[in-house]
Amino acid sequence: MGASQTRTEHKYQDLADKTGFSLEQIENLHKRFQQLSDNEETISREQLDSIPSLANNPIRKQIIEAFFDKRNQHQNEVGSCEEIGFEQFLMVMSHFRPPSLKTTEEEKEAMRKEKLHFLFNMHDTDNDGTITLVEYRKVVEELLSKSGDIEQETVKAIADAAMLEVASTNVPHMAPDEFYEGITFEHFQQILKGLEMETRMHIRFLDVDTPTLRCGKSSS
């Protein structure tokens, strides 16, 4: 109680406005942050890497990298950090908030664009604004990395076919000698518009004060 408490609340209020989380959710996430960072102020890549349940995830590296990517901080910076603080942690998490019943159509559109941009940044590792074939191949390769021995040709074939599809849909008529540089963000939006990102890309953030690692309610 006292001055420190109000200061914390004030700090959280600031974050709540920025990210859209409720105060309780921020508290929960802060607890988790403390746990991950061993009560330090910042988290490094190694600490995220050491989460045991992440070990089985084929795209683990990309996920972790996304936390340290400055482009996801809504601040028009590029590059990556070495360590992130709680605010950056929250900003990344805020990409996964679900829409509520009150969000309007424009807000939903904006949300979808934001989420798609997050995905785009995950694929576009060299920050040049397009996903080239090489980068896309890497994506597919990572996706299939935990599925046993996959031949390189398959990976390339799948990535090629996907790329071809994007090109055909977005730039239908290309002369044989033209070259499709890569998937821009607009094209990316175009090909994924059927997936309705704003409703699919979310996780349930617990409202009530629960200890971590408790089974969450299944969403339906």
Partner 1 sequence: MPSRTGSHSPTGIGKSLPERGLLLLMVLVLLEGSVIPLGAASSPDTGHQKNVDNHKAEGEKNHTKKAFPVLDLDYRHIQTPFEISLWVLLASVMKLGFHMIPRLPGIVPESCLLITVGLLVGGLIKLAGEKVPPVLDSQLFFLCLLPPIILDAGYFLPIRPFMENLGTILMFAVVGTLWNAFFIGGLLYAVCQIQPANPNELHQLEILPCLLFGSIISAVDPVAVLAVFEEIHINELLHILVFGESLLNDAVTVVLYHLFEEYSAAGTVTVLDGFLGIISFLVVSLGGILVGAIYGILAAFTSRFTSHTRVIEPLFVFVYSYMAYLSAEMFHLSGIMALIACGAVMRPYVEANISHKSHTTIKYFLKMWSSVSETLIFIFLGVATVDGPHHWNWTFVTVTVILCLVSRVIGVVGLTCVINKFRIVKLTTKDQFIVAYGGMRGAIAFSLGFLLKKEEFPMREMFLTAIITVIFFTVFVQGMTIKPLVELLAVKKKQEAKRSINEEIHTQFLDHLLTGIEDICGHYGHHHWKDKLNRFNKKYVKKCLIAGERSKEPQLIAFYHKMEMKQAIDLVESGGGVNLPSAVPSTVSMQNIQPKKPPPAKPVEKALPKMTKGREEEIRQILRSNLQKTRQRLRSYNRHTLVADPYEDGFSELLIKKQKMIALEKKIKDMNYYLTVPAAPPDSPTMCRARLASDPQSYSSKPAMDRVPTIQVDLASPQSPDSVNLMDEFRRADQQEEDQGLTMKAPSGQSGFNRPGEADRGREQQKLTRCLSDPGPSADEEEEEEPFLP
Q: C-beta of 120: minimal distance to partner 1 in Å?
A: 11
Beta carbon nearer to partner 1, 2 or 194 = 194
Torsion sign over Cα 111, 48, 218, 19: negative
Beta carbon nearer to partner 1, 57 or 80 = 57
Q: If you search the block for the tokens 């746990």, which residue do you land on? A: 35
CA distances, 212 to each of 7, 27, 45, 156 (Å): 25, 12, 21, 40
Nearest in space to 122 (alpha carbons), one of 113, 135, 107: 135
Q: C-beta of 7: minimal distance to partner 1 in Å?
A: 25
Q: C-beta of 79: minimal distance to partner 1 in Å?
A: 22
Beta carbon nearer to partner 1, 76 or 219 = 219
| Amino acid type, 182 | G
Q: C-beta of 2: minimal distance to partner 1 in Å?
A: 29
Q: How many beta carbons lie within 10 A of that of residue 60, not counting itself?
A: 17
Q: C-beta of 199: minimal distance to partner 1 in Å?
A: 5
- Backbone angles phi and psi of 80, in degrees to 5: -135, 155
Beta carbon nearer to partner 1, 2 or 52 = 52
| Amino acid type, 146 | K
CA distances, 157 to each of 29, 137, 140 (Å): 41, 9, 10
Nearest in space to 192 (alpha carbons), one of 219, 173, 169: 169
Q: Which helix (H) or strand (E) holds 98?
A: none
Beta carbon nearer to partner 1, 10 or 40 = 40
Beta carbon nearer to partner 1, 104 or 220 = 220
Q: C-beta of 17: minimal distance to partner 1 in Å?
A: 21
Cα–Cα distance measured from residue 140 to residue 96, given in angstroms and rounded to the nearest whole number: 22
